[in-house]
Structure 1
Amino acid sequence: MIDPNVIAVLMTVALLAGFVDAIAGGGGLLTVPGLVLAGADPVTAVATNKVQGIFSPLSAAIAYARAGLVDLSAQWPMALTAFGGSVAGALSVTLLPVETLRIGLPILLIGIALFVAFKPGLDDRPRLRRITPLLFGATLVPVVGFYDGLLGPGAGSFYMLGFVLLAGDGLLRATAQSKLLNVASNAGGLLTFAVIASPWWIAGLAMGAAAFTGAQIGARVASRRGARLIKPLLVTMTLAMACRLMWDWL
Structure 2
Amino acid sequence: MELLFVSLASLLAGFVDAIVGGGGLILVPALFATYPGASAATLLGTNKSASVWGTAFSATQYARRVELRWRALLPAMALTLIGSFLGAWLVTLISTAFLRKLLPLVLLAVLLYTLARKDLGRAHAPRYAGRAEAVVAGSIGLLIGFYDGLFGPGTGSFFIFLMVRLLGYDFLHASAHAKLLNVCSNVAAIVLFGLRGHVWWHVALVLALANVAGSLLGTRLALKHGAGFVRGVFIVVVVALILKTGRDAFWP
Higher mean alpha-carbon deviation, 20-29 vs 110-119, is at 110-119
How far residue 76 of structure 1 moved from its aligned partner, in angstroms, is 3.1
1:17 is aligned to: 13
Is contact 1:72-1:180 (8 Å) kept?
no
2:148 is aligned to: 148
How far residue 71 of structure 1 moved from its aligned partner, in angstroms, is 5.7
2:80 is aligned to: 82
For 2:242 and 2:25, the matched residues in 1 are separated by 10
How far residue 26 of structure 1 moved from its aligned partner, in angstroms, is 0.7
For 2:201 and 2:195, the matched residues in 1 are separated by 13
How far residue 231 of structure 1 moved from its aligned partner, in angstroms, is 1.6
For 2:113 and 2:54, the matched residues in 1 are separated by 26
How far residue 213 of structure 1 moved from its aligned partner, in angstroms, is 1.5
1:127 is aligned to: 125
For 1:123 and 1:137, the matched residues in 2 are separated by 16
Cα distance change of structure 1 residues 37 and 73 upon mapping to structure 2, 3 Å threshold: farther
TM-score normalised per structure 1: 0.91
2:199 is aligned to: 199
RMSD, aligned α-carbons: 1.9
Is contact 1:21-1:57 (8 Å) kept?
yes
Structure 2 alignment gaps of length 5 or more: none
The amino acid of 1:59's aligned partner reads F
Cα distance change of structure 1 residues 245 and 170 upon mapping to structure 2, 3 Å threshold: same
- CA deviation map 1:62-86 (0-9, x unaligned): 1111213436697333212111110
1:176 is aligned to: 176
Higher mean alpha-carbon deviation, 160-169 vs 17-26, is at 160-169
How far residue 123 of structure 1 moved from its aligned partner, in angstroms, is 3.7
Is contact 1:123-1:171 (8 Å) kept?
yes
Cα distance change of structure 1 residues 176 and 128 upon mapping to structure 2, 3 Å threshold: closer
For 1:208 and 1:69, the matched residues in 2 are separated by 27
Structure 1 residue 31 and structure 2 residue 27: aligned? yes
The amino acid of 1:111's aligned partner reads A
Is contact 1:113-1:234 (8 Å) kept?
no
SS in 1 for 2:167: coil
1:62 is aligned to: 60
For 1:72 and 1:199, the matched residues in 2 are separated by 32
- CA deviation map 1:9-47 (0-9, x unaligned): 211111111010111211001100111112133222211
Task: Work out the percentage of aligned pairs sharing the same amino acid.
Answer: 33
For 2:167 and 2:28, the matched residues in 1 are separated by 31
Cα distance change of structure 1 residues 121 and 137 upon mapping to structure 2, 3 Å threshold: closer
1:116 is aligned to: 114
Higher mean alpha-carbon deviation, 158-167 vs 104-113, is at 158-167
For 1:242 and 1:137, the matched residues in 2 are separated by 25
For 1:174 and 1:138, the matched residues in 2 are separated by 14
Is contact 1:89-1:146 (8 Å) kept?
yes
TM-score normalised per structure 2: 0.90
SS in 1 for 2:32: helix
For 1:102 and 1:189, the matched residues in 2 are separated by 19
For 1:30 and 1:14, the matched residues in 2 are separated by 8
2:2 is aligned to: 6
Q: How many residues align?
A: 246
